[in-house]
Structure 1
């Protein structure tokens, strides 16, 4: 077996040329990666040149100066963002999963009547000015979170626990939304608040049994009040109707008696005037009219003279016109 010697001749110039090509290719690739940017349809590109704002670019393929001379920040100006307080969403879908452990410090707050309550809420917002969002406020998202928590604590602190837990929930959310937008305008952070939603409001776990007992007592009180009002509405109108009917009957009776009395007085005055003019005639007429009314009401009649000596024939006064009544 024989040994063979191989001689390899390496050209230093060729190595240098190849190395330059490789380095040039790497530089071109790095420049391409650092200069070509794709802005999404919901985004807006903010270009920073040497640490200073230069321009904003629209969605699509955009170019910047390579090697860090210009940097681009992509801001989701067309997307609705949200921040959660007192809980975090671990998975979203038809049945979203939430986790609350570790976030009680955000949601536990004091009401105006010195009661603790656990308020979970969501702030939905949009970035409407990317320049202000990046340069007017340092870490605008963290600042928005701090402002949201401060606004919620202020609004809740001005209301009672019953208002926060029951009838005043919508008013609390609207007030927080208005106050938070005012703070965003004041800080000029380029954010517009779309909505503040109270996700859940409950008393803290240690006081839930006592709070539930108070709620049950209040509900029972409301039930008794409603029952009393229903009984009142049933009895009082009926009593008022009976009273009104009695009053109207009394007024009618009084009017009838007064009218009859006035009529009798007028009749008496008329008779008196007639009597004054012709006493004997009036006296005879009154006698005959009275007998005409009285006699038909009597039974069998026997007419005698003044001394009772002569009995006159029986007059059947129950007959009128030959027919017995």
Structure 2
């Protein structure tokens, strides 16, 4: 029975009675709920109809209100953000955990995954056919003009995520489409500022970084709430119509570079050797010059000293010069000269003399002709012998 029945008295009729058990309350509520639908008009003409009791309406209203209020409970996952809208206007932003909002139609909830990495494809589309994935080319997006007025076919994959939920929902009508248009504009701008060779070779990473920077700047200006994480150049090549001609040009350029590298390698090998040889020859010539000059100066000095002694004893000096000269001349011959007045019985080891003379001949052949005929040297020896006497 209702609390306001029985003239606002205690429904348990006395202060000494305990409240009924929970099962009895639920059973009583169930019986009254069933009786609400089972009550019909009674029989008999002119009989009075039986109306629903006011307590049945209250129970129904409370139940419906309870269910409606419970429908406002929601749980946000760690990777999500919840945005509550009241009659379409932003009310609040909630993070992970359980929350409650006024149920529909007063407030609505939008769940946005802010950790999901999304991808937009420029110049191609990945088409999934069964379990296989095929890359479809989009010429209207991939064909671009470079700085050196060459056509190039470039494909890019841009990965991004949501970093501002409120801006993503309310500032731009379709942020994902806006990002595609912004990326296409930035790609064509960057490609148009570089040559084809730079794009195809060493400029791939630099171009991707420039595209990311320019695209993010435009997205921040539009306040889309999107953050670009990576920009990857999937492929870059000349159009199919000129692919063969471009391949020939690339091959010729590679051959040119190879020949240049080989020539540079050869130059790096031969030039140091030539420079070292030239330096060695210069040093040898300087040493030879110093040696000849010093020797000449020494010989001239010694000749002057010997000349003074020669003037004192010319006959002895001439005899000594003659003997030394004949010794040098006869040393290179295999003949043995014996004085006819000598004792014929004297033993002469001719074979040993011949061998000794041949050995002297070989040593003598190695000496310079200038040293053999150098009179100054002979005079010096003569003077030494005289001094020994």
TM-score (norm 1): 0.74
Contact 1:31 1:67 survives alignment (8 Å): no
Deviation at 1:97, TM superposition (A): 1.1
User: Of 278, 297, 312, which aligns to 1:281?
Assistant: 312
User: What's the CA shift string for 1:73-104, capped at 9, x where partnerless?
Assistant: 222112222211112233499x8613324x22
CA distance in structure 2 between the partners assigned to 1:79 and 1:283 by the alignment? 118
Corresponding residue of 1:152: 187
Task: Please give the residue correspondences for 1:131-142 in structure 2 after superposition, counting only pairs within 5 Å.
Answer: 131-142=166-177
SS of 2:105's partner is coil
Corresponding residue of 1:290: 321
Task: Please give the residue correspondences for 1:232-251 in structure 2 after superposition, counting only pairs within 5 Å.
Answer: 232-251=267-286
SS of 2:144's partner is strand
Contact 2:123 2:140 survives alignment (8 Å): yes
2:97 maps to 1:55 = no
2:204 maps to 1:173 = no
Q: How many residues were matched structurally?
A: 296
Contact 1:47 1:71 survives alignment (8 Å): yes
Deviation at 1:198, TM superposition (A): 0.7
CA distance in structure 1 between the partners assigned to 2:143 and 2:50 by the alignment? 74
User: Of 290, 296, 300, which aligns to 1:261?
Assistant: 296
The root-mean-square deviation of aligned C-alpha atoms, in Å, is 3.8
CA distance in structure 2 between the partners assigned to 1:176 and 1:92 by the alignment? 31
2:136 maps to 1:100 = yes
Deviation at 1:23, TM superposition (A): 9.6
Deviation at 1:286, TM superposition (A): 4.6
Deviation at 1:41, TM superposition (A): 2.9
User: What's the CA shift string for 1:173-222, capped at 9, x where partnerless?
Assistant: 12212222333333333322211111111212222122122112212222
Task: Please give the residue correspondences for 1:78-89 in structure 2 after superposition, counting only pairs within 5 Å.
Answer: 78-89=115-126
CA distance in structure 1 between the partners assigned to 2:284 and 2:94 by the alignment? 91
> Which of the pair has more CA radius of gyration?
2
CA distance in structure 2 between the partners assigned to 1:283 and 1:92 by the alignment? 121
CA distance in structure 1 between the partners assigned to 2:139 and 2:78 by the alignment? 37
Q: Describe the shift of the 1:286–1:69 C-alpha distance in structure 2 as closer, same or farther (beyond 3 A).
A: farther
Q: Describe the shift of the 1:257–1:291 C-alpha distance in structure 2 as closer, same or farther (beyond 3 A).
A: same
Corresponding residue of 1:4: none
Q: Describe the shift of the 1:240–1:185 C-alpha distance in structure 2 as closer, same or farther (beyond 3 A).
A: same
Contact 2:121 2:156 survives alignment (8 Å): yes
Structure 1: runs of 5+ lacking an equivalent:
1-7, 303-311
Contact 2:85 2:107 survives alignment (8 Å): yes
Contact 1:176 1:196 survives alignment (8 Å): yes
Corresponding residue of 2:77: 40
